[in-house]
């Protein structure tokens, strides 16, 4: 029986394979085959495997998102394991895992995932849809990375955005047919898990395997810059939800958020620009 280790050779400035090789001690005694996903046809690849063979994905949340979308509609009979080698690793955190832990089988976590529709595109997502200053942070981070910066401080980008650059929006929100209006919205992410944005616990009560299969929507609204800045760090411990006058969490199967001006949005860390509305649903 073979274990196929899948990695993105272009990730981490070309260090994708080297980082993937860190999984070797956990696969001792197994025959391992390393494959770069950049040149992989998943339908052909999976059809050539026996059910007893295993797959181990190595990468970050973006690698997982790419896998679930590239294999959408393909029956997967093999055991799929995950070993994080990314920077944020929000999915790994949501499982309660730590860096250096053994690979985890994830078949149950990647089955029947929710969709997002935005700007004419339909994608499945694993963790969450960031909309508001979180999307802005991804947009600025992408610009910095293109300029040659290897280390991106998203917390620093958020603080500067709150103080100087990002302006809150007004929002119209519909959840399973019920409509709500908000002013001065800073964040409006729809979440399948608890974590996103490299460690923010946006919706601490969300259960990605909940029997009702609900999504959670966080709405951070109605506060000025200084109060928002004071509350914002607490999101990394999930304590922002204690500020109930400005932070609300709603749940539903179908969530549509519409802003009164276009801003950036992120899907499991991948930026989508010029978005006025999105719909997330299970």
CATH of the domain at 64: 3.40.50.10330
Q: What is the mean pLDDT of residues 43-57?
A: 95
Q: Which residue has the higher pLDDT, 89 or 107?
A: 107
Domain extent, residue 77, equals 2-109
Output the CA angle 235-240-241, nearest 5 degrees. Answer: 130
Q: What is the mean pLDDT of residues 249-262?
A: 98
Q: State the pLDDT at residue 16.
A: 86
- Domain end marker among 87, 109, 131: 109
- Domain end marker among 92, 109, 126: 109
Q: What is the mean pLDDT of residues 96-114?
A: 95
Question: Are the CB atoms for 57 and 86 separated by under 8 Å?
Answer: no
Instruction: Say yes or no: 120 and 259 in one domain.
Output: yes
Instruction: Say yes or no: 219 and 266 in one domain.
Output: yes
Listed range (45-59, 141-155, 164-178, 249-263) with the worst mean pLDDT: 141-155
CA atoms of 168 and 157, how far apart (whole Å): 15
Q: What is the mean pLDDT of the chain?
A: 94
Q: State the pLDDT at residue 13.
A: 64
- Domain end marker among 86, 109, 132: 109
Residue given tokens 């000025």 in the structure block: 224
Instruction: Say yes or no: 103 and 51 in one domain.
Output: yes
Structural domains in the chain (count): 2
Instruction: Say yes or no: 188 and 273 in one domain.
Output: yes
Instruction: Say yes or no: 223 and 128 in one domain.
Output: yes
Distances in Å between the alpha carbon of 100 and those of 64, 93, 151?
A: 18, 12, 21
Instruction: Say yes or no: 36 and 51 in one domain.
Output: yes
Instruction: Say yes or no: 225 and 250 in one domain.
Output: yes
- CATH number, domain containing residue 196: 2.60.200.40
Instruction: Say yes or no: 34 and 172 in one domain.
Output: no
Supply the pTM of this predicted model: 0.93
């Amino acid at each position: 029986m073979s274990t196929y280790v899948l990695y993105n050779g272009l990730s981490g400035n070309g260090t994708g394979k080297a980082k993937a090789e860190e999984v070797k001690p956990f696969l001792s005694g197994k025959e391992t085959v390393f494959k770069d996903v950049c040149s992989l046809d998943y339908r052909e690849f999976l059809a050539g495997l026996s059910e007893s063979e295993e797959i181990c994905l190595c990468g970050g949340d973006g690698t997982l998102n790419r896998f679930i979308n590239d294999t959408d509609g393909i029956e997967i009979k093999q055991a799929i394991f995950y070993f994080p080698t990314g920077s944020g690793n929000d999915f790994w955190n949501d499982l309660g895992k730590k860096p250096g832990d053994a690979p985890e089988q994830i078949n149950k976590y990647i089955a029947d995932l929710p969709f997002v529709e935005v700007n004419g595109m339909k994608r499945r997502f694993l963790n969450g849809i960031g909309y508001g200053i979180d999307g802005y942070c991804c947009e600025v981070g992408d610009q910095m990375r293109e300029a040659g910066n290897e280390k991106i401080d998203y917390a620093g980008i958020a603080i500067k955005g709150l103080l100087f650059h990002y302006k809150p929006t007004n929002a119209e929100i519909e959840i399973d047919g019920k409509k709500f209006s908000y002013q001065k919205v800073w964040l409006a992410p729809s979440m399948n898990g608890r974590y996103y944005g490299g460690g923010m616990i946006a919706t601490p009560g969300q259960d990605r395997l909940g029997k009702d299969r609900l999504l959670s929507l966080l709405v951070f609204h109605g506060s000025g810059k200084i109060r928002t800045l004071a509350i914002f760090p607490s999101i990394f411990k999930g304590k922002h939800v204690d500020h109930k006058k400005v932070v609300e969490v709603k749940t539903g199967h179908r969530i549509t958020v519409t802003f009164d001006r276009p801003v950036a949005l992120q899907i499991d860390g991948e930026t989508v620009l010029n978005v006025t509305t999105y719909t997330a649903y299970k």
